[in-house]
Amino acid sequence: MAVGLPVERAVALAAAGDERGLAVDAASEVEAAAAAPVALLDGALDGLPEAVERLAVGGVTVALLLAPDSPHDPVELVRRGARRLLPADAAPDALADALAALTESRRPPAGRVLALDDDPTVLLVIEAILGGAGYEITTLEDPLAVWAALERMRPDLMVCDVDMPGLDGIALCRTLRADSRWQNLPLIFLTGHSTPEVVSELFAAGADDYVNKPVLGPELLARVRNRLERVALQRAIEDVDRLTGLLRRDSARPQLEGLLSLGTRLRQPVCLAAFGVDELARLNRELGHAAGDEALATAGRALRAAFAADGVAARWGGGELVVGMVGLNVHDARDRIGALLEDVRAMPVPAAGGRITLSAGLAEYPADGDELDRLVAVAVDAARGAREAGGDRLGTSAAGAAVDEVDVAIVEDDDVLAPLLEHALQTRGYRTRRIADGDEAAQMLGGPRPALRAEVVLLDWDLPGRDGLTILRGLAGDGGLVGTKVVMLTFRASEREILASLELGAVDHVAKPFSVPVLMQRVRRLLGQ
């Protein structure tokens, strides 16, 4: 269901959906999407965050079209339940691909069955039995067309007659078992001859089960259901790491590579983060492996909770945990990761001595690499750098930049507030420098060749040596505001004082006391501009 799109856009999207077998309806009101499995909302809709949350709570998978200048915070929209953030100018084909992928993700596991029999009557019976039970059925009369059908459908199970012209079922089964792509495909035979010799030959060829002809509905349904349930259970066991509950590397790799492809098609940013438990080796050595295991399990639960809706999380190996995110730029990703690190910091882990912390590293596609292994290596190296810098923070691929260039300069003499701001920013991977004296700040930040360059300056008004407004006036006079955004932090909040700072070139004026998370959001937006 597409909600709020212009008529021409909705028509083009519906046409692109038809080409992919995807039915796309259009509506002007959000309530019309309440019964849809997937909803695409225009980012200009009124009450968008509340609408996203309402639909997500109701079980709808929500995608959003957001313009670069959207007033809505993408991180907040994801927290409300959005599963995919798409560019407002994305082509209809790209949107249809994204919606098809979201629709596919809702499909119950192990639900596609390919039925092969040269008797059309038998196929009608199978279709009625299994299709009526909710399975997606593809029927095929020509055994020579089975390879094309397998590639097209990618079934979860195959039902096959034994005696067919041109290619008998046993020979087909042996061929499937010799092909690495289909050797594990569950195969149930239909046979009118169930003598011990025939049954032995079926199982020797690689059959999983058989059903006697004429086919009885309850028996066929029970055998298909049992086989698929076993396959689903085995896949879940094989795909998921038991300790962390995250995907294993081999299972996550195609999904992460799919995120890279999706980001390319939609022209959306893709970020990859690596996480590790700080002092994991010490926990294992001093408190035993049970302590380290509990720490990793706690980290896994936190990652699952934080990224279940819109990311792919995996245990990459040993203590390395990896998450892929699409649709969030590097600043939005930093905020998400910073919030996660803060959450983990507050979680009790008795076996590990009470609390644990994580270090994280962030890589951006394609700036830091155009293939998965390279991005993982960059993120892991950045996480290692964060750990060496003290841990409990996010590192980025730019961590080795020159020390005279920072993301945020904190000009603040309050010895309680300044460390709090530093920690919040460093947790999110931002390079910071604190300056406590007004004269020192003017010398380092001002002049034609400043000793310190900062993209954002958090500037207190009342400082020792030189007040913040005088510093701001100096920066404006000598060109120091080119490429630098100044946010005033002050108890001075009268209309005259606010206007004075804004007229001199400050981009924002934040009155003390203030919410640190709200300030972090403002900083993130400024850095992302």
**Mean pLDDT per segment of 10 residues, for the chain of length 529 residues?**
92 90 90 92 93 90 90 86 89 89 67 90 91 88 88 90 84 89 90 85 90 88 87 72 90 91 85 94 89 94 86 90 90 90 93 92 90 92 91 74 76 94 92 93 84 92 93 84 88 90 92 91 85
The two three-digit tokens of residue 155, written as one number:
């079934």
Structure-token pair, residue 439: 């004269």
Angle ∠(139,140,144) on CA atoms, nearest 5: 160
Calpha distance 168→413 (Å, rounded): 84
Supply φ then ψ for residue 40, to 5 degrees: -110, 115
Distance CA 189, CA 208 (A): 8
Note if the bond before 214 is cis, omega within 30 degrees: yes
Q: Please give the distance of CA 423 from its chain centroid, rounded to a whole number.
A: 25
d(CA 310, CA 259): 10
Distance CA 118, CA 57 (A): 47
DSSP 286: I
CA distance 13 to 65: 13
Q: Prior bond to 196 cis, omega within 30? A: no
Position 403 scores a pLDDT of 43
Choose among 385, 391, 331: nearest CA to 526. 331
* CATH architecture for segment(s) 2-105: 3-Layer(aba) Sandwich (3.40)
Burial readout 410-433 (b: 16 or more C-beta within 10 A, e: otherwise): bbbbbeebbeebbebbbbbbbbbb
- Cα angle vertex 428, ends 423, 429, to 5°? 95
Q: Is the sign of the CA dihedral 28, 30, 34, 36 positive or negative?
A: positive
Residue 189 near residue 162 (C-beta atoms within 8 A): yes
Q: What's the CA gap between 75 and 85, in Å, rounded?
A: 10
Q: CA dist 42 to 27, 105, 171, 329, 437, Å?
A: 11, 21, 53, 20, 48
Residues 6+ apart with CB under 8 A from 384: 276, 359, 361, 395
Nearest to 457 by CA among 483, 439, 477, 479: 483
Q: Which CATH superfamily is domain 247-396 in?
A: Reverse transcriptase/Diguanylate cyclase domain (3.30.70.270)
pLDDT at 423: 93
Q: In the CATH scheme, what is the code of domain 112-239? A: 3.40.50.2300
Q: What angle do CA 232, 234, 237 make, to 5 degrees?
A: 110
Tell me which residue of 303, 331, 335, 333 sits closest to 316, measured CA to CA. 303
Rounded to whole angstroms, the Cα distance separating 316 from 450 reads 43
Architecture of domain 405-528: 3-Layer(aba) Sandwich (3.40)
Backbone angles phi, psi at 229, to 5 degrees: -65, -40
Say how far apart CA 457 and CA 313 lie, in whole Å: 34
- Measure the CA–CA gap between 303 and 311, rounded to whole angstroms: 9
- pTM for this one? 0.64
Spell out the alpha helix ranges (H) of 114-156. 120-132, 146-153
| CA of residue 497 relative to chain centroid, distance | 43
Q: Which residues belong to CATH 3.40.50.2300 in the chain? A: 2-105, 112-239, 405-528
DSSP codes joined into one string, 317-384: ETTEEEEEEES--HHHHHHHHHHHHHHHHTS-BGGGTB---EEEEEEEETTT-SSHHHHHHHHHHHHH
- DSSP category for residue 285: I
409 torsion bin: left (phi>0), alpha (psi -120 to 50), beta (else):
beta
